[in-house]
Structure 1
Amino acid sequence: MAVTFWAGLALLLPACLHAAWSDLFRRLIPNLLCLATGLAGLACAGVLGGIDALTSHAAHVLIALAGGMLLFRLGMVGGGDAKFYAGCAGWFALPQGPGLLVYVGLAGFVLFLGWFTIRRIQRRPIRAASDRPFERLPYGLAIAGGTLLLAFDLI
């Protein structure tokens, strides 16, 4: 494995772990963490791949942020989830965007199955604190997991 992979992972792994923990226990992904994650990914892209890589990664961030904000506006995801996904997108070039979406989606499906199973075992209703149906799941876990799965898949 390349040294650059481990150097990048040394930055990405703690960000993903912190976001997952924070979303699970505090139901909040800090804005500064989202920004730092994205900027670190863009910096690594620029250093390792030059201006072409930086452009591709930046385009991925902008598209992910626009899509995430649209989903937030529709009440389908939380704002922190949308921003953290965009920050994670900074670690991957635009052609890797569909892969990130697939991995995060798969991780979200596993999260949903686990969350649903736990709620059923506890015989607790699956209810949100608000009327927004997708606020029930701490989706930062799925974003972090999918991001790390893609990072390891690309080695």
Structure 2
Amino acid sequence: MSIPLIFALTYPAYLLWAAVSDLVRMTISNRLNLILAGAFFPAALLLGLSLGDIGIHTAVAAGGLVLGMVLFALRFMGGGDAKLIAATALWLGLDGFIALLFYTALAGGALTLGIVIARKFFWALAPKLPKWLGQHLEAKTGIPYGIAICAGGLLAIPHGDLWARLTPLLNV
């Protein structure tokens, strides 16, 4: 397996891990976010991003963290979600980050609407379902927004400048 392929798979694999973790446990671990963020730096260096470009990615991630912290403070999302936005933004750069926000908002709206409708019509099924699934039918449970961030992060891949460097190496 080639090094570019390993890095091409790292980002989506960790996003999917975050989505499943949020769906099942309603948490996204700090370890997962740190691994996702930390894996960016060797990937960026091996793919030839300049230190200036890495700095831009880092600044975008810092901005994503601030945005996530504001959304967390307003109780729109959990702390793991806020950190996942930052770790995801790190891989995408500025154009990819804008796409991430757009796609995440769309996916989050659809996810929230779906869960609200399911809670209205299927709440009585909650005790009969596995705990990880039934919890989402309970009114007091939050929305597993890591799923929306995962969808947004995957859809934003073509907009990120790191991916433009990776695609020719994968012969795609």
The TM-score normalised by the length of structure 1 is 0.83
Larger radius of gyration: 2
Contact 1:42 1:57 in 2 (8 A): no
Aligned length: 146
Contact kept in structure 1, 2:104 and 2:152, CA below 8 Å: yes
Note the alpha carbon deviations across 1:108-155, whole angstroms, 9 max, x for none. 1121122122222304676225xxxxxx21000000111001114656
Q: Deviations over 1:2-27 (max 9, x none)?
A: x94x4433101210111001101101
SS at match of 1:90: helix
Which residue is equivalent to 1:128?
Answer: 140
RMSD: 2.1
Segments of 4+ moved more than 4 angstroms = 123-126, 152-155
> Could you report, residue by residue, the CA deviation over 1:53-101 in whole angstroms, capped at 9, with x for unpaired residues?
2111101111111111122122221000001111111111123321111
**Sequence identity percentage:** 34
Unpaired runs of 5+ residues, structure 2, are 125-136, 165-172
Cα distance in 2 for residues equivalent to 1:17 and 1:7:
15
Deviation at 1:103, TM superposition (A): 1.0
**In structure 1, the residue corresponding to 2:113 is in which secondary structure?**
helix
Contact 1:46 1:53 in 2 (8 A): no
Amino acid at match of 1:151: I
1:147 aligns with 2:153: yes
Which residue of the partner structure matches residue 100 of structure 1? 100
- C-alpha distance after superposition, 1:20-60 (max 9, x if no partner): 01101101101010111112223322332121221111011
| Structure 1 gap ranges (5+) | 130-135
